[in-house]
Structure 1
Amino acid sequence: MTNDTPDWIRLHKALSVEAEHGFIDLVGKQYRFSEFLSLTFGKFPTVLPAIERRRWQDMAMQFANYPFLEIEERKNLVVQVRRYLYQLQKEQEEKEQKQQGVEEQGKVYQAKIPNKVPIIPEVSKRLAPQIDQKLKDLPEIGIRKADNLARLGLYTVRDLLFYYPRDHIDYARQVNIRELVAGETVTIVATVKRCNCFTSPKNQKLLILELLLRDDTAQIKVGRFYAGSRFTSRGWQESLKRRYPVGSVVAACGLVKANKYGLTLDNPELEVLAHPGDSIESLTIGRVVPIYALTEGVVANTVRQAVITALPAALQLKDPLPRGLREKYGLMELKDAIANIHFPHDSDALRIARRRLVFDEFFYLQVSLLQRQQKAREIQTSAILAPQGRLIEKFHEILPFRLTSAQQRVINDILNDLQKSVPMNRLVQGDVGSGKTVVAVIAILAAIQSGYQAALMAPTEVLAEQHYRKLVSWFNLLHLPVELLTGSTKTAKRREIHSQLETGELPLLVGTHALIQDKVNFQRLGLVVIDEQHRFGVEQRARLQQKGEQPHVLTMTATPIPRTLALTVHGDLDVSQIDELPPGRQKIQTTLLTGQQRPQAYDLMRREIAQGRQIYVVLPLVEESEKLDLKSAVEEYEMLQESVFPEFQVGLLHGRMSSAEKDEAINKFRDNQTQILVSTTVVEVGVDVPNATVMLIENAERFGLSQLHQLRGRVGRGAAQSYCLLMSSTRNPDAQQRLKVLEQSQDGFFISEMDMRFRGPGEVLGTRQSGVPDFTLASLVEDEEVLLLARQAAEKVIEMDASLERWPLMKAELKYRYERLMGGAILT
């Protein structure tokens, strides 16, 4: 950090890395995270006004106290400082622009684009391949190599240009031998002092080439391996020795490794040079090397050589993004980005090229989502529902508690939507126990008091039954009928419900997938509420909406979705968050235990039952699997009942039981006839027993963090202190670190962010129908800043011209990406 300008990059990176590691006050090479931040904020830049300097001094003090804060307090501090820095950086950059006379508003980040751009081979336009030319027609590739490349789905020059590397290895840094450090990838240029060739004594089909290399600073021994009987012949060995004679100059690149003899390069790439300053012709040595996804029969150099053949065609690419937009967001031109993503000059050029191409992936998705949202808002045929009325007033009167400010804010969002003829399409996110059902009930009552019907669909019978019980207790006081329709509903009752829906006598129907059956017909459906919406497929959600004429749609989830994931999967929805728990909720004491600590867990369970409390024991499987060494629910139930807790009643609940059996198990537990309920994840949502105070989760490492947080939410619903015990026998440090997040935090939004970092977005939502776009380069974990910029840019583009008629190249690119490449499957 200089004394004139803040070092934004180091500050943002330090805060980001600390957040990624769970706010543990990381130890760096020189300082702890807290020490670095305290020192940094203590030396405020002179460009800052006095008020900001005082703010920096305050933050220096806060970070000096960082090691003594609780995890939640650390998290809040880091989040606040990150927001503050982004805002301050934006203001400083806008100020600098005004001083330079640049009239450009809303600039967030300007990337430095190098003057030196890519290695596009110098060839005449006459010889350059055409962008849509078939690879088999290029003489440098030919039919045989083209057939191999076709196995990767590469048929044209365009396919090759947009076949991005999955990774890069940086051999561009050339160092002296004395400067080698284990773990780095480097290139050295040195003289051959000795050359040996011999067959491995342990493997007669393995030839080892051993070179002793020396430069002006030191010497190093390197070895290269050749597997195959043809390499062990005397003729091949002699040819290798002639290739690397003593006194020749060799360029070598590879990963520096330490062995018992010192440092070496791991199986390095080698090239003989005419002299020390000679240019290196290799596609790997001395370069940032692209690593491509391959398949059987296709080797790396085949793809690299083909890409080099295709690169001159990049000059023919017309950039679909207007120049003004590129300059505003600091984006490299497309042809330069394509060249630099394959063969960059250096790591900076690679970073800036990748940023442009990641922006494109996010930008076209966001444009598509916003177009979809715009189209939905053009529909003006939905029911206009009254936000004021006797039913809602009476409901407020019978509620035994006050709504939180977060609930009230979300209710206002919903009621504002319901007053419009444009159909509402809102997602409500709320942590476990935040009170989403109450919010949904007010929306339902707005529909009913306006003369319309409502439907509430849940993914499981357990959850649908839970909603029904809660709604009946309220609706009886309001003198309103409500019915439950599931797969278990008897035929006679089913017919009665169908009839009452068609006549309009039944204002609210709660149910599972049974609601979307053909025989279910509403007289006047005005509102659809879908709980745990990510558990339904697109068609299932759409079929329920089709039961009415453009009904308003309210979707809910108790699995908080990270911001980046919400933007990519639900970017066409309006999102509200209930980010506040009702007052009086106690923190659930969460502890990670090993198998040796099981007796302590059982002691705690006995003490809680002795005080009249109840226990959940959750397992990942129903019956024992031969492939996985995991306890089964059935086996655990029998063991606990017969051996561990014979004095108590133990119940069993899992997904393979009939509906009647499930109801019986839940009702017995709810009525405290059973003190311990052994269950699979069927209790994840919907089972509400305030008397339960202990949740023991076996094989906790088999669950995602968000799912564990959901399970934990089954306890802590009453006034008594509750406990969550995570039983895990794994010694895997990554799994241990992941589970410790649950020990440290009760914040579902933070936990979902960490879950996405550990497991990836598809796993967080559930891969079966998650709808996470398949990005080639972009990462929802690493590229949040670029996603937010792409969303901002897409909003401005849609605001100016939602049809994209002003930008025909952009419109064509959007069509190409999300109709041809993704078959039109933009979202689920």
Structure 2
Amino acid sequence: MKAVATDGLTLLETPLDRMLGARTAKALEKLELRTAGDLLAHAPRRYVHRGELVPLSRAVEGESVTVVAHVLGTSLRPMNARRGFLLKVTISDGVYDMSLTFFAKSSRPLAFHESKLQPGTVATFSGTVSAYRGELQLTHPEYQVLEDAGDVNEEEIARPLPLYPAGVKVPTWTIEKAIGSILDQVQPDDIPEPLPDEFRSLHDLMGAYDALIALHRPVTDDDWKRARERMKFEEALILQAVLAQRGHEATSVDSEPRPHLSGGIADEFDQRLPFELTDGQKKVGKVISDDLSSARPMNRLLQGDVGSGKTVVALRAMLQVVDGGGQAALLAPTEVLAEQHYRSIVTMLGDLAAGGMLGGSDIGTRVDLLTGSLGAKQKRAVLGRLAGGETGIVVGTHALLSDNVQIPFLSLAVVDEQHRFGVDQRDALRANGGVNLLVMTATPIPRTLAMTVFGDLDVSELTELPAGRQEVTTTIVPAVKETWVDRVWERVAEEVQGGGRAFVICSRITPTENPALLEEAEEGTRPPLASVDELTEQLRTLPALQGIPIGTLTGPMGPEEKNAAMAAFQSGEVPILVATTVVEVGVDVPDATAMVIMDADRFGLSQLHQLRGRIGRGNRPGICLALSWAPPGTVASERLDAFAATRDGFALAEKDLELRREGDVLGASQSGSQSHLKYLRIRSDSRIIDLARQSAGELIEKDPTLATWPGLRAAVDSARQLSETDYIGRN
């Protein structure tokens, strides 16, 4: 029978102070464990064995052993070299002797051990063998006093021991004891079962209660392995059900069909294009056109490598919508990128972007830019044109999501660089339902990761680059070799003298930014990370760069400063730009031919690839020089080798996933917030994710509300109440 607290709380909802006492509960709260459910969901990090039951003669330094021995004598005394006390216990199996040592700040806890380990006492002792002054010993071993040697329970000794993620003042054995206290009160009905019976049967999975017991109290290694497998399936099914339900909700409402209109602005744009669309652009364009012609909203992810022509594909889709009487909005994560998109669209459209204006095309439309830094008068004018339907295409930042922005005929929302936005932000654009959604990313995503991050979207890919793209060579420059570094700046000067432009990328703005990053410098393992301010001053003193203007661009700069910096760079007035990664995405300067990345070993593969994509976009080849302090053989060094070996973003994405620690894929390093997935591993569990995706789709098709499976519905509802960005580590 299910346990229920007197105030209506279930056992899992009960605060830990009621079940374990205030002192233990306060300690566990430091690990964000506040209820019985939190504690039982605190998964063991790994499992260990006490070791084989061995005689003292077979004890080897560094091994985990369990021995049966009797106590010969004890000695409790103050330590000589530091404050505190030491208890030494000598044990013997009748042939060999060994020492046990216990340390403590006071003698009180040691006196307790001494009272239990009186001479003649027989016990099992478990620990890792170490050596001190040539003698083997066990330090702070676990032990169990026996009535006699016949009480040794070899089966108990063979049980795997769970080791939990712990804190300095909350060791793993404290957590294990607390969990054991809760488990003693748990009944099978207390543990909800989110997996449908047919799903568990199909995949031969343990029930929720049995899995919980096997995780925390395994008898054999097979127990916890089967339990982990079950939990992987549970996390995968809940996640895929969340995504499938979201996808169903997004496409189950009516959408105003916007079929292709012959002789309209879209056709006119195609006829004016100064280049031939790639086969991929044509194919994806046809798929999107068909989506827009449907009465069901499009819900599509378009991922393509850097420079693959996603913007042209998106613009053609927006023009099709405008031809049909609708409006389109393009949402960009930064003002720099929004302004870049706006200028690019206006340039590509020419007089087609000046509908209703003097000199505009008769079949043209209005294109507007809306950002937070727009002046009040300009903003009112843009808002008025949007609300009146005069503007066909609007490009903007988060300002497009403001409550006072009205786009009455919004039919297509294009979200660029989706990984910079949360799910709620993207959905705000289509809050009224029926709006077609096209999400774009130039950061290719491995298929398995795409199923967990964008599983609610149909996926299209652009894998080929337009004709005429220039070659970019990449060289990893060991930062310890001063002559190599000197040559870097000489090459930059040569590119500028040849009419090119050069980006120089730093990870920091000022030398004092992020003091934590100075730790390695203080330890003498590497100099402090390069900063925009300091490096700019340094470059201006170099003989190789004398007479060459050097500018800066950083995120905190005001909009006018940013625009002025970019304009000077594009024109060649200031041909070297020292910047942060604010230029990582979307910045298009055709004359940019050189990219220098300082401290490149501190960047991820996708970010390096994006930065490199800023050059070689015109009619000149490019050169990328990545300065690295990473020693050979390290993961950072391997990452940079992969970066230099290929410009294929999809290949780099797979390599990135291979090189990442598992926790980074969906956890803090990837998302800025901790993942709620404890068991599922994207790199190694693609089979489970595939199976869960298929099952989730079938379940949602049968019953979109999941009312047929109350346990799964409750788990999915709970997951969706979280910020979904946090739930699947999406940012």
- TM interval, short-chain normalised: 0.7 to 0.9
Question: Is the 1:363–1:791 Cα contact (8 Å) retained in structure 2?
Answer: yes
Q: 1:736 to 1:502 in 2, by over 3 A?
A: same
What is the root-mean-square deviation of aligned Cα atoms in Å? 4.0
**Residue 270 of structure 1, aligned match among 143, 148, 156:** 143
For 2:411, what is the secondary structure of its paired residue?
A: strand
What secondary structure sits across from 1:693 in the alignment? Answer: strand
**1:371-770 alignment, distance < 5 Å:** 371-380=245-254, 382-387=255-260, 389-390=262-263, 391-476=265-350, 478=352, 479=361, 480=364, 481-546=366-431, 550-583=434-467, 585=469, 586-596=471-481, 597-625=484-512, 627=515, 628=518, 629-644=528-543, 645-729=545-629, 733-755=634-656, 757-758=660-661, 759-763=664-668, 766-767=671-672
Residue aligning to 2:207: 333
Match of 2:65 among 179, 183, 187: 187
Q: 1:289 maps to what in 2? A: 161
Instruction: Quote the offset at 1:526 in angstroms.
Output: 1.6
Instruction: Sort the Cα spacing of 1:516 and 1:240 in 2 relative to 1 into closer, same or farther, 3 A.
Output: closer
SS in 1 for 2:564: helix
Question: 1:51-75: CA deviations, max 9, x gaps?
Answer: xxxxxxxxxxxxxxxxxxxxxxxxx
Task: Work out the CA distance in 2 between the residues paired with 1:657 and 1:135.
Answer: 48
Higher relative contact order (CA 8 A, sep 6+): 2
Decide whether the 8 Å contact of 1:141 with 1:306 is kept in 2. no
Describe how 1:70-89 pairs up with structure 2 within 5 A. none
CA distance in 1, matches of 2:20, 2:597: 59
How much does 1:349 deviate?
A: 1.8
Instruction: Work out whether residues 189 and 250 of structure 1, in 8 Å CA contact, stay in contact via their aligned partners in 2.
Output: yes
The residue matched to 1:545 in structure 2 has which SS? coil
Moved more, 729-738 or 623-632: 729-738
Q: What is the match of residue 56 of structure 1?
A: none
Corresponding residue to 1:811 among 713, 723, 726: 713
| Alignment-mate amino acid for residue 453 of structure 1 | Q
Shift of 1:384: 0.4
Name stretches of at least 5 consecutive residues in structure 2 with no aligned partner.
353-360, 519-527
Per the alignment, residue 686 of structure 2 pairs with 784
Alpha-carbon separation, structure 2, partners of 1:337 and 1:215: 43
* Of 728-737 and 472-481, the range deviating more from structure 2: 728-737
Name the aligned partner's letter for residue 609 of structure 1.
V
| CA distance in structure 2 between the aligned counterparts of 1:746 and 1:173, rounded to whole angstroms | 52
More deviation, 269-278/327-336 = 269-278
Give deviations 1:306-329, integer Å, cap 9, x for gaps. Answer: 433443634445644343321222
Q: What corresponds to 2:179 in structure 1?
A: 307
| Pair 1:176–1:473, CA change in 2 (3 A) | farther
Change beyond 3 A, Cα 1:363–1:434: same
Are the structure 2 counterparts of residues 557 and 808 from structure 1 closer, same or farther at C-alpha, using a change threshold of 3 Å?
A: same
User: 1:206, 1:232 within 8 Å by CA — same for their partners in 2?
Assistant: no
Q: Please give the alpha-carbon distance, in whole angstroms, between the structure 1 residues aligned to 2:97 and 2:307.
A: 63
Partner of 1:75: none
Cα deviation, residue 714, structure 1: 1.0
Displacement of 1:697: 1.4
Q: Aligned AA for 1:201?
A: N
Q: CA deviation at 1:638?
A: 2.0
Q: Give the conservation status (yes or no) of the 8 Å contact 1:172–1:346.
A: no
Distance, in Å, in 2 between the alignment partners of 1:351 and 1:157 is: 23
Once residues 686 and 113 of structure 2 are traced to their aligned partners in structure 1, the CA distance between those partners, rounded to angstroms, is 53
Q: Summarize the alignment of residues 126-165 of structure 1 with structure 2, pairs less than 5 Å apart.
A: 132-133=10-11, 143=21, 147=25, 151=29, 160-165=39-44
Name the aligned partner's letter for residue 743 of structure 1.
Answer: A
Aligned residue identity for 1:725: L
SS at match of 2:511: coil
Distance 1:215 1:611 in 2: 86
**Deviation of residue 420 (structure 1)?**
1.4
Task: Give the SS at the match of 2:391.
Answer: coil
Does the residue aligned with 1:507 lie in a helix, a strand or coil? strand
Distance 1:463 1:213, change over 3 A: farther
How far apart in 2 are the matches of 1:222 and 1:719?
76
Contact 1:329 1:789 in 2 (8 A): no
Between the aligned partners of 1:620 and 1:587, the Cα distance in structure 2 is 22
Question: Quick one: distance in 2 between partners of 1:488 and 1:523?
Answer: 23
One-letter amino acid of the counterpart of residue 442, structure 2 = A
How many Å separate the matches in 2 of 1:442 and 1:604?
39
Matched position secondary structure for 1:798: helix
The whole-number CA distance in structure 2 between the counterparts of 1:182 and 1:473 is 73
Q: For 1:709, what is the secondary structure of its paired residue?
A: helix
TM-score for the superposition, normalised by structure 1: 0.73
Partner of 1:63: none
- C-alpha contact 1:253 1:286 (8 A) present in aligned 2: no
Is 1:323 aligned to 2:197, yes or no?
yes
Aligned equivalent of 2:152: 279
* 2:216 aligns with one of 332, 336, 342: 342
Measured after TM superposition, the shift of residue 751 of structure 1 is: 3.5
The one-character-per-residue Cα deviations of 1:223-281 (angstroms, maximum 9, x if unpaired) are 43321221598x66864762676xx5634233x66788487666432334456664349
Residues in 1 aligned to 2:35 and 2:217: alpha-carbon distance in whole angstroms: 19
**Take 1:250 and 1:722, find their aligned partners in 2: how far apart are those partners?**
69
Tell me how far 1:677 sits from its aligned partner. Answer: 1.0
Structure 1 residues 575 and 206: CA distance shift in structure 2, 3 A: farther
Shift of 1:157: 5.9
Secondary structure in structure 2 of the residue aligned to 1:501: helix
Number of matched residues? 690
CA distance in 2, matches of 1:767, 1:193: 53
Q: CA offset at residue 776 of structure 1?
A: 3.6
TM-score if structure 2 supplies the norm length? 0.82
How far did 1:330 drift? 2.8
C-alpha separation in 2, matches of 1:542 and 1:322? 30
Greater shift in the superposed pair: 667-676 or 187-196: 187-196
Q: Percent sequence identity over matched residues?
A: 36
Q: Select the residue among 242, 250, 253 that pairs with 2:118.
A: 242
CA apart distance, 1:779: 3.7
Distance 1:139 1:622 in 2: 47
Structure 1 pair 237/416, CA: closer, same or farther in 2 (3 Å)? closer
CA distance in 2: counterparts of 1:262 and 1:560, whole angstroms: 57
Query: Deviation per CA, 1:59-108, whole angstroms, max 9, x where unpaired?
Result: xxxxxxxxxxxxxxxxxxxxxxxxxxxxxxxxxxxxxxxxxxxxxxxxxx
Partner SS state of residue 657, structure 1: coil
The CA distance in 2 between the partners of 1:550 and 1:401, in whole Å, is: 34
Q: What is the CA-CA distance between 1:545 and the residue it aligns to?
A: 2.8
